[in-house]
A and B are shown apart, each in its own frame.
Chain A
Amino acid sequence: MSKKLKDVSTDVTWKETTKGGTIPYAGNAHLYNTGDWRSMKPIWIVEKCTQCLLCYPVCPDTAILINEEGKRVDFDYDHCKGCGVCVKVCPFDAIDFVEEGK
C-alpha cells in the first residue's frame, strides 16, 4: 500500500523536485512516521473496548485503523505521535496512557 514517491524522497535533486514544494499526490501522510515524536503512548485495552469507534475520527493522524469488519484494531504506532486525544475521548477507559519507554 505504501508507494514510493520519488518527488518527496530525500534523494531528489532540485531539478527533479516539484515546483514550490507542491505535493502532487493525495493520501501520502502514511509516508511520514510521526511515531518518532511520541513521549506518551496510548495502550488499547481490548477487554474494555466496546468498539464504539469514538476514538477513530479524533486521531489527527492515521494511528487508529478500522479493519474490514468495521472494527478498530491495535494502534499503528508509526503514526501515533502520542497526543492523547483518543485517551480523553474514550468513555470506557479502554485506552491507557503511559510514558514511552517505561
Chain B
Amino acid sequence: MSARSERVLNHAILGVFAVIAVFPMIGVVAQALKLPGQVDFSTFGTAWREGHFGTYLRNSVIVTGVTVVLATVLSIMAGYALGTMRFRGAQALFLLFLAGLTIPTETVVVPLYFDLRSVGLDNTYAGLIMPQVAMSVAFGTFWMRAYFRSVPPSLLEAARIDGASSWTTLWRVLVPVGRPAILTMIVLTTMWTWNEFLLPLVIISSDEGLRTAPLGLSFFQGAHKTDYSLLMAGALIIAAPIVIVYVFLQRQFIAGMLSGAIKE
C-alpha cells in the first residue's frame, strides 16, 4: 500500500467514526426541526413552554454557578497548601482527598437524602449545591495541588523575599500564572455539575420549581413518551449550553479529562 493511499484510508476511517460519533445528534437536530421537509422551529417553542425549560435552565445556571465558584476557591486554597507547604498531616490530607475521586454518587446519594431531609435541606438549592461542591473539591484539590507543585520554587522564593504573605503570593502571583490550569478545572466542574442527574432526582423530590435541566428532561420524557420531535427539542435545549462551551474550549475539556486522569 502506498503512503498516499494509506493516508487516504486512515482519514476515511477517522471520518467514519466521526460520523458515528455525531450521527445520533444529527438525528436529534433533524427530528427536532422535523427534517426532511419544511424547517420547523415551532417544536422548540412548544418544548420550551410545556417543559418549563426556562425555569429549569435558570436553576441549573444558579446551581452550577454557585457550585463552581465555591469549589474553585476552596480547591485553589487547599491545593496551594498541599502543593507548596510542608506541615504535619499534609500527606494524609492529600490521600483523603484522593480517595474522594473514586466515590460514586450512587454510594452517597441515599444517606445524603435522609440526612439532608432531617435538617430541612431537601428541596433546596443548598442541598443540591453543597454535595456537588464536596465532589468537585476532591478533584479540584488534587488538580490544583499538581499545578502548585509544578510552580518553580524560585517564584515562591522571590515573592517571599519581596515580603509578600502567603495569601498575597497565592492570589497576586500564583493564580494569575495558573490561569490555564484553573480554567481547565472550572470547565470540568461546570460540565459535571450541569450534567448531574441522580443527585437532583433524589434531593429535589417534590418542589417542581427547583428542578435542574437534566431532571426537567426526565419528567418531560415521562409526559411525552413517544413524541420524539418534542423530546429531541428538549434534549437539545438542555445539552446545548455545555456543547457550546465545549466547542469554544475543547482544548481545556480534552486536556483536562485526559491529563487530569493521567497525572498521578
- A, B in one complex: no
